[in-house]
Amino acid sequence: MKNSFDFKKYLIIFIIASGTTVMYSLPYLKSTFYDPMRAALGLDHQQLGNLISMYGILATILYFPGGFLADKVSAKKLLSFSLISSGLLGFYFASFPSYTELLIIFAVWGVTTILTFWAASIKVIRMLGDEDEQGKMFGFNEGLSGIAGVVVSFIGLYLFEVFADVTIGFRYVVWLYSGLSILCGIVLFFLVKEKVVAGVDKISFRQIAGAVKMPKAWLIGGIIFSTYMTFSSLTYLNPYLKDVFKISMAIISSLAIIRTYAIKMGASPLAGILVDKIGSSLKVLSMGFIVIAACEIFYLLLPRSSNLVILAVINMVLLSTVLFGFRGIYFATVAESNIPLEKTGAVIGLASFIGFSPDAFFYTMVGGWLDKGESGYTYLFALCLACSVLGFVCSKVLHRMNEKEKALANN
């Protein structure tokens, strides 16, 4: 009986991970297929950036109410609704509608992938295991998400190879992601059995107001913001390698898949192991921000010659590894900072609001830079360098605050 339950539990996690991957791939197709997407939709850099910004604005606003909704409505139903509706929007997206219609699609994706999904997916995964299994549940989900991303993305890349017309290839890729998203939503509706989980806090407006007054919440938000700003820049390494180092689109897409999904499978668990060995997520983050700064300086100083493409790719792999490692540990700063249990949900909500806010403006801003020429990459790397400095400062300040509190508690 126990083995049967375990199989079902991990099957559900696998489907959630796969559904999450294909669903979020729809608004973020530019991460892997940046140039094919621009060509198929007939967009310039800034217009594509505007689409992502439209999505990001709605997503950023909806992190808070999503937590309330997940407490009021069946999380299973929210999950299925999100996956199915996002997939249906994907099929509409694959018809290559007008630019105005594309803006509307990306805005609605902000609702279906954040408001009705983000908190609900966390809630469902928490329901699958006891409190002492939570790390394993979320870690397994993150790893399976990477595996699903590699498999589906390479299938998408194969479709581009089969169809010489990039527009047809891109349409089939969107159909693939949309169909799988709908399928996962249907399967989860019948597989997931909801239960009441002790210890899952409901976020109140009073808790949110209290979190806003906490310096630690803003520092954690600053760490996530710095990470996410730099993480978002990885998208533009695709056109950077193509425009500056003249790599073929097929090779760039393969590198993007490896960067986006394969590195993800190992980087977060390794970062977690490192945190356990050192005993502090903030110390690991501080060291990581130094590595990120070095990578950005390297890109700023690297001569733009096709003979140096290998160095550019190695630097990309190193940068991606650190950033994906950060994704698995930056919320560990909440526990390390001794945030009261009753304020944890509110602090995570505020930190998410601050940390993921680049979605609302980053892509439009950088898209405008790149439309003006290769100097746009210089601005991009300089911005990421500044973010790494900000992240380092936030990590150090928060670590010192925690150490002072420990010292006072011991006296």
Q: Note the pLDDT tens digit of each residue in 304-341.
A: 887 888 999 999 999 999 998 887 778 778 778 887 75
How would you label 96-133 residue by residue, b for 16+ Cβ within 10 Å and e otherwise? eeeeeebbebbebbbbbbbbbbbbbbbbbbbbbbeeee
The pLDDT value recorded for residue 231 is 92
Residues 135 and 283 grouped into a single domain: no
Task: Flag whether pLDDT at 406 surpasses 80.
Answer: yes
CATH number for the domain harbouring residue 4: 1.20.1250.20
Per-residue model confidence as pLDDT tens digits over 157-176: 788 778 778 788 889 999 99
The domain total for the chain is 2
> The tokens of 120 are what?
């609900």
Residues 174 and 78 grouped into a single domain: yes
Distances (CA, A) of 404 to 281, 366, 401: 17, 40, 5
Domain boundary among 195, 229, 255: 195
Domain that holds residue 190: 1-195
Domain boundary among 167, 195, 223: 195
Report for 40-54, 123-137, 138-152, 271-285: range of highest mean pLDDT: 40-54
Place 2 in a pLDDT band, splitting at 50, 70 and 90.
very low
Place 128 in a pLDDT band, splitting at 50, 70 and 90.
confident
Residues 177 and 61 grouped into a single domain: yes
Residues 229 and 188 grouped into a single domain: no
Instruction: Kindly report the backbone phi and psi dihedral angles of residue 231, in degrees, each rounded to the nearest multiple of 5, phi listed first.
Output: -60, -40
For residue 129, what is the DSSP state?
S
What is the average per-residue pLDDT within 195-206?
Answer: 55
Give the amino acid at 16.
I
The pLDDT value recorded for residue 203 is 57
Residue with the larger pLDDT of the pair 300 and 211: 300
Residues 77 and 162 grouped into a single domain: yes
Place 36 in a pLDDT band, splitting at 50, 70 and 90.
confident
pLDDT above 70 coverage of the chain, percent? 86
Mean pLDDT of the chain, nearest integer: 83
Residues 181 and 226 grouped into a single domain: no
As a whole number of Å, the end-to-end CA separation of the chain is 51
Residues 188 and 211 grouped into a single domain: no
Domain boundary among 195, 222, 249: 195
Instruction: Kindly report the backbone phi and psi dihedral angles of residue 172, in degrees, each rounded to the nearest multiple of 5, phi listed first.
Output: -65, -35
DSSP 64-99: HHHHHHHHHS-HHHHHHHHHHHHHHHHHHHTT---H
The Cα–Cα gap between 172 and 205 comes to 44
Give kind and range of the element (H or E) at residue 248: none
Task: Flag whether pLDDT at 367 surpasses 70.
Answer: yes
Residues 134 and 241 grouped into a single domain: no
Place 223 in a pLDDT band, splitting at 50, 70 and 90.
very high
Residues 172 and 246 grouped into a single domain: no
On whether the CB atoms of residues 278 and 394 are closer than 8 A, the answer is no
CB atoms within 10 A of CB 42: 10
